[in-house]
Structure 1
């Protein structure tokens, strides 16, 4: 975080310090049974020990305290599993006990985020959405049907690299891969309504995804000190809300256009969007409404293009 930001936040932090100390030092009726871990400082916990390279710091701490340890990140107590065996114990053998997850403050800027398959706990709604995805998106039949499309896109990408080499042109591989991935996901979901990878719309999508990932990954005081959440001290929730809003508008335009064509009796495309709308019509909005459809599309777009929004390398044809 920038030093100037810390200066601006200092008065607020000082005002709440006494409250936090009182709560932290208040005796508890129940002693929590937690794994061992480093002793933290008041207020900030183990933040200084974790530092700017948490993966390295946690690896070092695990050598001292074992594969299951407790660290305090600000006011948030966190249990860290750092070995394959311990991760298997948690994620496979006791997965039902760990279905809940902490939700980043930035995520709450998303409208209806609590309905997203990514953030839902393992209840009835989550199981229905997962079953729907498995039966409509990730089926062998659907993936086989898209095999020719994937091959064609890969050939086009290789041809573009070859052309850049022959012309001595600098080629940004990240942009090329993102365009290919976006086109692939778009055609799988929207068929003929897919985003053109060379359009201004696609460029805007890439910038939106990059900005969303950048803001979501940024250390946020509101996550470490929940008492600060109403104040959004770094403006992260405010900024990411704008990105989510524009992203929703782009996806809603695809959904609205498809629903109008369906209402006019146009032939179905048989893509993922049609499958979702068919399911909604068959089972009713109580099981799947337009908000659920939008969130599923957004989750899949962001998840499928996440690795392509990192700063791209460039190749020079000379």
Structure 2
């Protein structure tokens, strides 16, 4: 069961208050810096109590009162939150080098070989080399294209599964999760692994990353995390994860030399390590960290995006019909829309962009940390300050977007705005040195799956069921309840046809 932050804070408040008074009695100092406006905070916990139930929504609401640049205190840690496109550009472009570091998060570190992966690692030579290997050798456009057949195969299998349901109620969320798991397994690890083999590990990682760690924000109370078993759970999960990836590596090392042209990502990483072709010594734990980054991020964020997109299409029949008509025009009666035809579907791309705008998978991106003092938009940001960019709030800013709460894919038609990190009003994958290197891989999966789902089926809600939009907030923001639908073959509906 996940840790309840509010229950902990209020049940422990009397003891924590006494400890705070003793600690702060001798440590009162004032700063003459021009710091961003800061809302009132409670002793010891600062503004942590204001983060429930969803931090991205809470921070958006606070920004409407205190401004788009706020200084908060999460325990003893100063955190500056940017909810403005100008601020996002300053952090991720103008001062990108200064803010390219990551704060060390205890639980995240335990699950990523002491934060020596790509996502959570501190900025430095090792991180730069590992990211370079990923971008050039694992996630280049050519490499992503080489796995086209894998994506098409798994999409066809999902379509057959839906067809075999014979218009009974299906859990579309579960089918999407299975598909993304299978694609990542085949691309990264070389073969499918039964979902149960990795599901417990991935679910555990997601749960623990979403858990509140006292030590991250009140270091001198970090012992509480140990007492309540958070460290033990993280260490046990880290061992399970390491055992799994070690088994994958040994399987690859023991197999006979293959002459198959399409190598999986483990093959490529082992080859780089063996040949030392980059001039950088790629250690075994680095290979494991990269693989788990690919697997975790590739599965979770991709399936989340597809789930929210299909939810919005169910809520907006006009958009669904228009997308189906585009699919029928491109498909021309064939059994499948191949990946090569996706570029003929501008409305499909607009639908996915609009979904990413409204439902940014990681709404606060991943926190950054300043490596030296810098002035941003007139405010002093001290060295060592954590920085959060509320990409979700910026993507719903009414001063930037017309009717920002509405699902309107048309806003992206004939628009240069894209998600690749150069338009700071729309950064679902981040921008600058720390942007997600797997953008291309994620989006080609989203496109091929969505195109063929709407091409083959008309979706409806079963019986009297409504469409619950409640969020399940964690490291990524999922739908709390799965998408349950009845899928009718599209040829039975004139509305599907162009």
Does the C-alpha gap of structure 1 residues 15 and 245 become closer, same or farther in structure 2, counting only changes over 3 Å? farther
Offset at 1:236? 2.3
**1:239 and 2:233 aligned:** yes
Pairwise mapping of residues 50-199 of structure 1 onto structure 2 (< 5 A)?
A: 50-110=51-111, 112-166=113-167, 168=168, 170-191=169-190, 194-196=191-193, 199=194
The number of residue pairs the alignment matches comes to 305
Q: Is the CA contact (8 Å cut-off) linking 2:158 and 2:179 kept in structure 1?
A: yes
Structure 1 residues 83 and 6: CA distance shift in structure 2, 3 A: closer
Picking from 206, 210, 224, the partner of 2:203 is: 210
Measure the CA separation in 2 of the matches of 1:205 and 1:302.
10
Q: 1:279 Cα deviation (Å)? A: 0.8
TM-align CA RMSD: 2.8
TM-score, normalised with respect to structure 2: 0.56
Q: Is the 8 A contact 1:220 1:234 kept in 2?
A: no
C-alpha displacement of 1:209: 1.3
Q: Deviations over 1:178-224 (max 9, x none)?
A: 22111111111232xx233xx3xx21412321222122112332223
Q: Distance in 1 between matches of 2:127 and 2:166?
A: 47
Q: Could you tell me how far 1:10 is from its partner in structure 2?
A: 6.0
Cα 1:58–1:190 shift into 2, 3 Å: closer
2:166 counterpart SS class: helix
Distance in 1, Cα, partners of 2:17 & 2:291: 43
Task: State the secondary structure of the residue aligned to 1:113.
Answer: coil
TM-score by length of 1: 0.85
C-alpha separation in 1, matches of 2:287 and 2:217: 32
Structure 1 residue 102: Cα displacement: 2.0
> Aligned equivalents of 2:296 and 2:88: distance in 1?
26
Q: 1:164 to 1:79 in 2, by over 3 A?
A: same
Give structure 2 stretches of 5+ with no counterpart. Answer: 305-477, 489-498
Q: Of Structure 1 and Structure 2, which has the larger fraction of its residues in helix?
A: 1
Residue pair 2:112, 2:289 contacting (<8 A) in 1 also: no
Q: Any idea what the Cα deviations from partners look like across 1:212-246, whole Å, max 9, x if unmatched?
A: 21221123322231212234154223223222221
> What is residue 302 of structure 1 aligned with on the other side?
296
How many angstroms does 1:317 deviate by? 6.4
Cα gap change, 1:144 to 1:4, in 2 (>3 Å): closer
- Taking the aligned partners of 1:144 and 1:259, their CA distance within structure 2 comes to 25
Q: Partner residue of 2:483?
A: 313
**DSSP-derived class of the 2:70 partner:** strand
Question: Using a 3 Å threshold, how does the CA distance of structure 1 residues 55 and 8 change in structure 2: closer, same or farther?
Answer: closer
Deviations 1:68-114 (A, max 9, x none): 11011222211010111211111111110011222322113226233
Residue 267 of structure 1 corresponds to 258
- Aligned partners of 1:241, 1:205: CA distance in 2, in Å? 17
